[in-house]
A and B are shown apart, each in its own frame.
Chain A
């Protein structure tokens, strides 16, 4: 009871409600603008959270994440341009519906299925995160070492077209994460006697540089694309259509939850699996791909079911499931919190206040999403030529805000150029970020294990939990490589 009142005292604050509403709104708006991604929005919002309470800060970022997931589907339906890769599946039926004059129906189906999936995903998070954290309390440094190794295997899943390029990016991320003073011996690593580099590379300039600046450079170094106007028209969703789609939505949500809880699998896979399952089981399977409401609902349920579930490994084990949760992990650290079992032990009230906020965000998504459908044309019709200079201003001010230093602005520009080079050479930026975040964790747990065992490497192979994670790492590697080869074979044979 005492804990309950503490949770309420943390959660029931005006700031939290504003953060959730603002977060979802920003997410939907950014997600709805082609070329701007939810990842970019979360990265840009991070500097704004410095002066906030930890719960408020995390809720703002989670709100943007969830809003961005839905926002991406709006452009997929209206102008056949998915705001995020996860929304690519939504356009298969969403765009044909819009062309038939049923854009409103498609948008409503996407919104309602997103909200249902989000609630199911949040409930799964609340039930499973605490259990997993309880198990993780038995982990020592060797178990954590293997857990980090397992997490590193997500690099393969997020490497894009080339595993080799993904590994190069991850290696570069690990190297950059090593710049600064060594945590154990205090020796300088690649600082070149520059005092700005002694305290490691700041997370925020790196993040903004890698995910926001390349979009801006890309825009000014590409041909001008005519601005596409959008229109929301047609009748709304009927109750009969809702009922018809319900089964697919629930199935898709559960698929999203399972896939989201596995690090590195991602919302795109969940959306496509959910869609294909819905198609396989639907009585209207012949209409899929031609403008079927159930198809839109299934795809959106799949990709939004992932949102809450990706927070399960983050909160309970302290490992990120995708790029956005990697940024949220960074936000936890900036606020002096380390996600994982210790967070449940020492800040249980904070965790449950977060859960309350995350649940509330689903309701807010419903309200904001409805408004977005109505006023969407106004939002999406802001040309990039006006929007991106303002985004750059936010980037610069945000990078400066970390240490009140122009060095960080320069750092952001350097990482922006690196991100641009990555874009042009087909290297995914996400493995770089994962390497940057997990590199120090890997080193820390490796050293702690060796210190405890006085240098005996056999300690890494003692105990069933260590072997469980070794098996999981190997299986994850094999599965990811197999999926990669399969995905390469499909276009080759097509």
Chain B
């Protein structure tokens, strides 16, 4: 009896991730097939054979995604996945940790040219070290050292012109 209860709680009252994923993908696939393809893929008047059309492969892939998403949706409803250890592993993460990670990503994505490769590298690396509560001061020196070394490696050894940033120009 006890065993049955445990198994029941493993399934009951939980949002089914496969069904949610399937439903989201069904919506996205429908938008793709019925809106994006007709609106954003031009077909030249020269195209006689539909298999030669620029829309053929995107539509084929779109229908495949739609069909598989429907299967996923139905499959998820019929056989809900169990609660996994991985879910517990991801629960209860300090907010500051992933906020700093996002901020570091934003520095690289939005300020890379403005700040330059070295400065953005130093700021982002510093943020990520901070996100993990690294305590040794010497480790933070690495946040200064590595962006300089890696930038010089790219610029002088690989001939990749990384941006210097507005501060230094």
Contact = CB atoms under 8 A, between A and B. Distances in A.
Nearest to B100: A220
Contact of B41 (A184, A190, A217, A450): A190
- The contact size tier of chain A is 35 or more
Contacts of A190: 36, 40-41, 58
Contacts of A182: 54
B11 to A, nearest CB: 16
Given A175-B58, A386-B142, A390-B125, A401 B43 contact: no
B17 A188 contact: no
Contacts of B54: 182, 184-185, 187, 189
A175 B65 contact: yes
Interface residues of B, number: 67
Nearest to B151: A397
26 contacts: A47-B158, A47-B160, A175-B58, A185-B54, A189-B54, A221-B97, A221-B101, A224-B132, A385-B132, A386-B142, A390-B146, A392-B124, A393-B121, A393-B147, A394-B150, A396-B121, A397-B121, A397-B150, A400-B112, A401-B162, A425-B17, A439-B57, A446-B51, A447-B51, A455-B48, A455-B52
Q: Is the interface of B mostly helix, strand, loop or mixed?
A: helix
Nearest to A427: B21
B77 interface: no
A409 interface: yes
Given A409-B108, A410-B109, A450-B52, A401 B158 contact: yes
B134 A386 contact: yes
A221 B90 CA distance: 7
Interface string A311-353: 0000000000000000000000000000000000000000000
A226 to B, nearest CB: 13
Nearest to B48: A455
A165 interface: yes
A15 to B, nearest CB: 12
Given A223-B89, A439-B57, A447 B52 contact: yes
B30 interface: no
Contacts of B113: 406
A190 B108 CA distance: 26
Contact of B109 (A401, A409, A425, A450): A409
Contacts of B57: 174, 178, 439, 442-443
